[in-house]
Amino acid sequence: MRNAPTDLGSLIPRNRAIHPVPYDPDYKTSVPRSPRWPLLSLDSSVTEETGPTFGHNMLGPYDNNLIANFSQGERLAIGERIRVHGRVLDETARPVANTLIEVWQANAGGRYRHVRDSYFAPLDPNFGGCGRTMTDEDGYYEFMTIRPGAYPWPNRANDWRPMHIHFSVFGSGFGHRLITQMYFQGDPLIDLCPIAATVKTRSQLDRLVAPLDMARSKPMDYLAYKFDIVLRGRRQTMFENKMEGM
């Protein structure tokens, strides 16, 4: 007897109206960079669709610990220790397993380890500001890091970026990559940031804010923040380089 087909539910159409607007004069960089013509859909190659793939054996012992990975455990970064964790899910709340997540961020003073970052905050000699991890079979991921600092940026007279961590989520190959940011619950700069304000619907912006998770915090050590990433669907996470999830 043939197996009965699995009912995956009705197709969830894309809702492009909830995506951040590409042109927003308050976010000055969007003025010269926003597209002036309709976007073109180009066919992808076999290489982009099928590889390369990533496995747990490619990760080093400190890859998901940004506090220690720059010195390979010899010295620890300066700042408030935090744990970030969550799940990667599809539009029907099924876990997305064995997915590579890369993260990068400023240090505790709000400065990136980048040659073009000219902010006056000092560099931490023990903090590189980037790491990576894989989701397990339940779509779960976690990493340790330092709470990033806010920093000023040359947009308007006195604009500051909220504390945030950048996320890159890979699919089955380099052609399937999504990029987003995670903000922190209670940060007053979220409501003042022109980049965050390009997300016009508050409920959508709130999905980029990780709530404090005291249940996964460790007493006398670190606080935890929970950030689930949903790929498409009714509760999708907003991404910078795609209209919606994969």
CA dist 222 and 155 (Å) reads 33
- Catalytic pick from 151, 183, 225, 232? 151
Catalytic status, residue 151: yes
Q: Identify the CATH number of the domain in which residue 130 sits.
A: 2.60.130.10
pLDDT of amino acid 3: 53
Per the structure, the count of domains in the chain is 1
Would you call 117 exposed, middle or buried from its count of C-beta atoms within 10 A (0-12, 13-18, 19+)?
A: middle
Catalytic status, residue 81: no
Identify which of 243, 235, 239, 241 has the alpha carbon closest to the alpha carbon of residue 12: 235
Strand partners, 131: 103
Catalytic status, residue 140: no
What's the whole-number mean pLDDT along residues 79-83? 98
Q: Are 50 and 221 in contact (CB under 8 A)?
A: no
pLDDT at residue 105 tops 90: yes
Strand partners, 181: 166
**Domain assignment of residue 37, yes or no:** no
Catalytic status, residue 164: yes
**Domain assignment of residue 34, yes or no:** no
**Domain assignment of residue 99, yes or no:** yes
**Domain assignment of residue 40, yes or no:** no
User: What is the average pLDDT score of the chain?
Assistant: 87
**Domain assignment of residue 174, yes or no:** yes
pLDDT at residue 1 tops 70: no
**Domain assignment of residue 101, yes or no:** yes
**What would the pLDDT profile of 161-201 be if each residue is shown by its tens digit?**
999 999 999 876 556 788 999 999 999 999 999 999 999 99
**What would the pLDDT profile of 53-65 be if each residue is shown by its tens digit?**
666 668 999 999 9
Residue 154 belongs to domain spanning? 56-231
**Domain assignment of residue 49, yes or no:** no
Percent of the chain residues past pLDDT 90, beyond the cut: 68
CA dist 109 and 152 (Å) reads 11
**Domain assignment of residue 158, yes or no:** yes
pLDDT at residue 204 tops 50: yes
The string of DSSP letters for 15-68 reads -GGGSPPS--TTSTTHHHHS-SSPPPP-PPPHHHHH-----GGGS-TTTTBTTT
- Catalytic pick from 19, 111, 161, 232? 161
